Amino acid sequence: MNEQVKIDLDRAERAEKLQGMGCKRKRVEDIRFTQGKGSYVDDLKLPGMVFGDFVRSPHAHARIVSIDTSRAKALPGVIAVLTAADLKPLGLHYMPTLAGDVQAVLAEEKVLFQNQEVAFVIAEDRYIASDATELVDVEYEALPCIVDPFRSMLPDAPILREDIKDKMTGAHGPRKHPNHIFEWQIGDKQATDDVFAKADVTIKEMLVDHRTHPSPLETCQSVASFDKVKGELTLWGTFQAPHVIRTVVSLISGLPEHKIHVIAPDIGGGFGNKVGAYAGYVCSVVGSIVLGVPVKWVEDRMENLSTTSFARDYHMTTELAATKEGKIVGMRVHVLADHGAFDACADPSKWPAGFMNICTGSYDIPVAHLVVDGVYTNKASGGVAYRCSFRVTEAVFAIERAIEVLAQKLGMDSAELRMKNFIRAEQFPYQSALGWEYDSGNYHVAMQKAMDTIGYRQLRAEQAEKREAFKRGETRELMGIGISFFTEIVGAGPAKNCDILGVAMFDSAEIRIHPTGSVIARMGTKSQGQGHETTYAQIIATELGIPADDIMIEEGNTDTAPYGLGTYGSRSTPVAGAATAVAARKIKAKAQMIAAHMLEVHEGDLEWDIDRFRVKGLPEKFKTMKEIAWSAYNAPPPNMEPGLEAVNYYEPPNMTYPFGAYFCIMDIDVDTGVAKTRRFYALDDCGTRINPMIIEGQVHGGLTEAFACAMGQEIRYDEMGNVMGASFMDFFLPTAVETPKWETDFTVTPSPHHPIGAKGVGESPHVGGVPCFSNAVNDAYAFLGAGNIQMPHDAWRLWKVGERLGLHA
Amino acid sequence: MTKSHIKVTINGKVVEALVEPRTLLIHFLREQQNLTGAHIGCDTGHCGACTVDMDDMSVKSCMTFAVQADGASITTIEGIANADGTLSALQEGFRMMHGLQCGYCTPGMIVRAHRLLQENPDPSEDEIRHGIAGNLCRCTGYVNIVRAIQYAAAKINGTPFQEAAE
């Protein structure tokens, strides 16, 4: 073996040992999770712990005439019953929402949605607490309710929020009606209207992204433990953003922030459900402060689906203007946003409609105008980003459905229409008409790769044949080809436009190298299944040349982790991942000085080589990071502070813009409405790939949730405001039997502004998946003149489409 | 409330306890026996996060009263690892194939898959998918769970691992 080959082999072996970025490292978390040794909130058992449970409103809108807690209090084992009357003197009967509104913790004079919290029973065990909720006697006087958001602003609509009825300016400007929350406008209205007035072709479609729920398998829960002697509160909870929760608890309770210890242990999925602050958290805290014992609150599934944070409910009138050759010249969108009874959307505070203005999508659209009106209805509050950055699923749904409608009107292939209008690679960084600067993209290449891989032309030919066969009565099956090409906007975000209640949306990493060269690192984010303990370690491994197995990652304990804004909106990799790389580079710079001292050379004479600094031209003279760590503590250069650690609070200069091309091939039985996904191909570009195994897992999961949303999942209300189907009996969560098989693929276009070029991937498949499924369904029926078919596309609704079109015998 | 005496074998150990007649098996296991591996996800028997093995059957322990377990033999996720403490073939399969993310459904899923492989040591993909249809996972999209079970089946059977055809 010649010398060079030996050197190369040695380097390859050393690199492999690190298990750094790009390798399919097996997850650290799985050792405990596969043995049932995870530690979730409901696993906590503290001495003297008691249990809380809610009395909830059966009405969607009613005045509370009286609350009598005497029968409940008389039940053996019941310790206390809290009502608004108990919270009001503490100023805690309302809490601030992330969207600048307030939300009732316990209803005071009125209830505004079914299952709203009215009283909180605390008892020795959860069974007694549950029994006692039925012994609280509440007298209601039912009021007319609003379920349809299009009725919210009618002149004779009942006023829902009496607490703010005279406040005609809300957190986001003037309100046009007592049931109006905000109007948010962006873009050039005049220029857009002008383009539409002169355009060859225009389309206008009402696209509804219906109300649904993130529904992680673990519900929302908390345990509060107040130490009266120390005046300290420890709060364990299902928190995607534990540091923000600590700040909010401090602000509303008056306890100093350093005396509040918020701990988010293992979390059983979040998907946006666990970003907000809920009545249960507040009541467990108040209960513990009042009683001096730990109070546990655990939602049941019905409570979860019907109260804590719905998603979507956007009614989007979407218009496109184009030349007859198919060049899109303008976009106009009006959204009626149903926010429920309180505006508790989890968006950065300045963005009442999230990043809905990403709705121009992947296309070079010169002018656009967007208006969003938010209104109150008698439904649960929320409006969270369900596995997406803020309102990005809604935005992508609007543009990707609209482009199909336009293609049909133009009589043009929709893949070709997309190709014709894509932002070209040389246009990046690209300024969109609605105010974003897209960092990087290579859309044509991704689309072409996807089309070639699935054999797009052949599929269209097959579809044409099948349509003819259908017309001849030879088959009862319709074939749909769904396409979506999405651009996400994730990694919120730059302080200039992103904050939550005034807290800028930076994130953080703190890395400490121990003398023996092993590492503990802590971040301000919080994994809920994304595998942070595995992937952050891979970043550090590559940056610092320390094996990932020697690096422990910790998150979720606000006492030990640096402040960060948490995990949602695919922000962990774009923001805390960047902080991790930057902190590691600070350590590396110090390590280089130490190595120079150890090797008695000038710093500039050293070069980095996988896990060591070596003298340029003398590869046998080197110091490994492990050796440097020992010296950093025990023999640092003169005048250098000992130790080897760094912290970085990273404020991103821009968002990141992951993108992808998805194709869905679907066969629908016209007579039963049953839709079968024959093939689903997802090409994602999330920039630099840290762990391909985890990326693939994220894509599988996101696609499955997209499949659920598009094909059946829904939170529905009847005209009385009764929530229909708030259990897994009715709420569609696909099993292994219904779930299609997923094919994944990728291209790599790094983010130019991110230290390692990564963009985030957790939510892309959901964002791109929902319109892809809906487009497949719409495409299947398009040749029959079906017009726009709204989601969700369950068999019953698709059967009705067949019925409407007279396709049934 | 009057309590009933029950005697249950849990993960090979005989346990005697007093429980209220209405105490659910899942609460008995989690709160009285400190076996917190099985989880509660839905309260209606749909999600399977609470699945345990009772007398050689997969049982949803949130749909079962503790008193119904009197005299029964129960295996929970805590009793699935090999006798020497190493991961069982299924546990290893879930890790190797990335068959879990948040870990909340995982104990129920593994305990269910354990019974499935007892019933059908060499299942096809379709049989696996139907065999775990009583267990919901919100994170993985099932593809890798199916692979994990195939991996375990191959390891137990001493055959090379390959993804099974339909």
CATH code for the domain in which residue A137 is found:
3.90.1170.50
- Confidence check: pLDDT of A609 > 80: yes
Q: What is the DSSP letter of B121?
A: S
Q: How far is Cα A491 from Cα A759, in angstroms, rounded to an integer?
A: 8
The mean pLDDT of B1-7, rounded to a whole number, is 93
Please name the residue that has the structure tokens 């150890």: A598
Closest to A701 (Cβ–Cβ): which among B94, B135, B141? B141
A626 and A748, same domain (yes or no)? no
pLDDT at B166: 42
Spatial CA neighbour of A278 closest among A504, A115, A123: A115
Residue of chain B nearest A708, judged by CA positions? B138
Question: Is A170 a member of any domain?
Answer: no
Find the length of chain B.
Answer: 166
pLDDT at A725: 85
Q: Do A529 and B37 touch (CB under 8 A)?
A: no
Spatial CA neighbour of B114 closest among B76, B142, B141, B144: B76
Spatial CA neighbour of A136 closest among A94, A84, A87, A184: A84
pLDDT at A2: 82
Q: Report H helices in A531-570.
A: 532-544
pLDDT band at B162 (very low <50, low <70, confident <90, very high): confident
Number of domains in chain A: 3
A673 and A761, same domain (yes or no)? yes
Q: Write out pLDDT tens, residues B6-16.
A: 999 999 999 99
Q: What is the extent of the structural domain holding A733? A: 390-492+655-804
User: Could you say which of A306, A329, A360 is where a domain stops?
Assistant: A306
pLDDT at A430: 98
A388 is catalytic: yes
A418 is catalytic: no
Kindly state whether A445 is in contact with chain B, defined as any CB-CB distance less than 8 angstroms: no
Question: Is A331 a member of any domain?
Answer: no
Q: Write out pLDDT tens, residues A312-322.
A: 999 999 999 99
Alpha-carbon dihedral sign for residues A563, A568, A572, A574: negative
pLDDT at B165: 47
A512 and A642, same domain (yes or no)? yes
Question: Is A157 a member of any domain?
Answer: no
Q: Do A736 and B107 touch (CB under 8 A)?
A: no
Output B157-166 pairs: Cβ under 8 A, ≥24 positions apart.
B157/B121, B157/B122, B163/B125, B164/B123, B164/B124, B164/B125, B164/B128, B165/B124, B165/B125, B166/B124, B166/B125, B166/B126
Q: How far is Cα A412 from Cα A171, in angstroms, rounded to an integer?
A: 44
Domains of chain B: 4-79 (3.10.20.30), 89-157 (1.10.150.120)
Q: Which residues of A434-457 are buried (b: 16+ CB within 10 A; e: fewer)?
A: bebebbbbbbeebbebbbeebebe
Please, which residues have CB within 8 angstroms of residue B159's CB and are 6 or more apart in sequence? none
Question: Is A734 a member of any domain?
Answer: yes
pLDDT at A500: 87
A400 and A436, same domain (yes or no)? yes
The mean pLDDT of A507-519, rounded to a whole number, is 98
Report the 10 Å Cβ neighbour count for B10.
21
Helices (H) and strands (E) in chain A, counts: 19, 38
The ipTM value here is 0.98
Token pair for A238? 């299902």
**Strands of the sheet with A675-685, listed across from one edge:** A477-487, A659-669, A675-685, A743-746
Q: Write out pLDDT tens, residues A494-508.
A: 999 899 888 999 999
Q: Write out pLDDT tens, residues A214-241.
A: 999 999 999 999 999 999 999 999 999 9
Kindly state whether A762 is in contact with chain B, defined as any CB-CB distance less than 8 angstroms: no
Averaged pLDDT of chain A: 97
- Confidence check: pLDDT of A649 > 70: yes
A678 and A766, same domain (yes or no)? yes
Q: Write out pLDDT tens, residues A752-796.
A: 999 999 999 999 999 999 999 999 999 999 999 999 999 999 999
Q: Do B136 and A35 touch (CB under 8 A)?
A: no
Residue of chain B nearest A705, judged by CA positions? B138
Please give the share of chain A, as a percent, with pLDDT higher than 70: 100
Closest to B44 (Cβ–Cβ): which among A217, A301, A693? A301
Q: Can you state the percent helix, strand and coil of chain A, rounding each to 5? A: 30, 25, 40
Q: How far is Cα A621 from Cα A612, in angstroms, rounded to an integer?
A: 10
Q: Do A36 and B107 touch (CB under 8 A)?
A: yes
pLDDT at A502: 87
CATH of the domain at A696: 3.30.365.10
A32 and A49, same domain (yes or no)? no
Instruction: Tell me phi and psi for residue A475, to 5 degrees.
Output: -145, 155
Q: Do B142 and A736 touch (CB under 8 A)?
A: yes
Question: Is A171 a member of any domain?
Answer: no
Q: Do B20 and A301 touch (CB under 8 A)?
A: no
A513 and A401, same domain (yes or no)? no
Per the residue annotation, which of A388, A498, A664, A772 is the catalytic one? A388
User: Could you say which of A620, A650, A680 is where a domain stops?
Assistant: A650
A400 with A771: CB under 8 angstroms? yes
Closest to B110 (Cβ–Cβ): which among A34, A42, A693? A34
pLDDT at A1: 63
The mean pLDDT of A449-454, rounded to a whole number, is 98
The mean pLDDT of A404-420, rounded to a whole number, is 98
Residue B22's Cα: distance from chain center in Å? 23
Please, which residues have CB within 8 angstroms of residue A437's CB and are 6 or more apart in sequence? A429, A430, A431, A654
How many alpha carbons lie under 13 Å from residue B166 in its C-beta half-sphere? 2
Chain B interface, mutation test: which of A28, A29, A33, most B Cβ atoms within 10 Å?
A33
The mean pLDDT of B25-42, rounded to a whole number, is 98
Largest CA distance in chain A: 91
Residue of chain B nearest A127, judged by CA positions? B23
**Strands of the sheet with A137-142, listed across from one edge:** A110-111, A62-68, A137-142
A600 and A549, same domain (yes or no)? yes
Kindly state whether A190 is in contact with chain B, defined as any CB-CB distance less than 8 angstroms: no
Closest to A30 (Cβ–Cβ): which among B49, B95, B105? B95
Q: Do B42 and A728 touch (CB under 8 A)?
A: yes
pLDDT at A444: 98
- Confidence check: pLDDT of B1 > 80: no
Q: Do A301 and B103 touch (CB under 8 A)?
A: no
A457 and A552, same domain (yes or no)? no
Question: Is A486 a member of any domain?
Answer: yes
Please give the share of chain A, as a percent, with pLDDT higher than 90: 96
Angle between helices A692-711 and A764-782 in degrees, nearest 10 = 40
A407 and A552, same domain (yes or no)? no
Question: Is A709 a member of any domain?
Answer: yes
A709 is catalytic: no
Spatial CA neighbour of A106 closest among A312, A281, A244, A261: A281
How many alpha carbons lie under 13 Å from residue A732 in its C-beta half-sphere? 22
- Confidence check: pLDDT of A37 > 80: yes
Preceding peptide of A636 cis, ω within 30°: no
Spatial CA neighbour of A113 closest among A150, A160, A151: A160
A572 and A663, same domain (yes or no)? no
Q: Write out pLDDT tens, residues A113-145.
A: 999 999 999 999 999 999 999 999 999 999 999
Chain A interface, mutation test: which of B137, B139, B146, B151, most A Cβ atoms within 10 Å?
B139
pLDDT at B163: 65
- CA distances in angstroms from A95 to A19, A683, A742, listed in the order given: 46, 42, 42
Q: H or E stretch including A186?
A: strand A180-187
A659 and A639, same domain (yes or no)? no
User: Could you say which of A588, A616, A650 is where a domain stops?
Assistant: A650
Q: In the A/B pair of chains, how many CB contacts fall below 8 A?
A: 173
Kindly state whether A76 is in contact with chain B, defined as any CB-CB distance less than 8 angstroms: no
Q: Do A217 and B144 touch (CB under 8 A)?
A: no
Question: Is A204 a member of any domain?
Answer: no
